[in-house]
Amino acid sequence: MSTLHRAHASHAHTHGPDCGHAEVPHDDHLDYAHDGHLHREHDGHWDECEAAGHVPHEDHEHPHGQDCGHESVLHGDHVDYLHDGHRHARHDGHWDDH
């Protein structure tokens, strides 16, 4: 899954283990959920870390929800669920891999 490289220009907050935002494992780095966005440090600045397109998570039978046991993070206008190193979001009757 490719990721867009989009700098978050006005991001003064420094994320880290004690910053208070959820850490989200993503490929070879950590994203931080902050104000409905996912940020990652990249070359001395913070990027919006978003998938470059619609990526359905095939064969995902687990129904996420309030009591599913997986951490939830606000992402734009919906909630993602952290599961097995992925972020899953409900979309048109299936789960997307963000």
Q: What is the pLDDT of residues 54-78, one digit of tens each?
A: 677 777 777 888 888 888 888 778 8
State how many domains the chain has: 1
Please tell me the pTM assigned to this model: 0.59
Which pLDDT belongs to residue 7?
59
Amino acid at 25: P
Q: What are phi and psi of 56, to 5 degrees?
A: -65, 145
Query: Which domain does 39 fall in, by range?
Result: 3-97
**E strands in the chain:** 3-7, 23-26, 29-34, 37-42, 45-51, 72-75, 78-83, 86-91, 94-97
CB of 39 within 8 A of CB of 47? yes
User: Is a pLDDT exceeding 50 seen at residue 37?
Assistant: yes
Which pLDDT belongs to residue 5?
52
For 72, half-sphere exposure in the C-beta direction (CA atoms, 13 angstrom radius) is 13
> What confidence category does residue 36 fall into, taking pLDDT thresholds of 50, 70 and 90?
confident
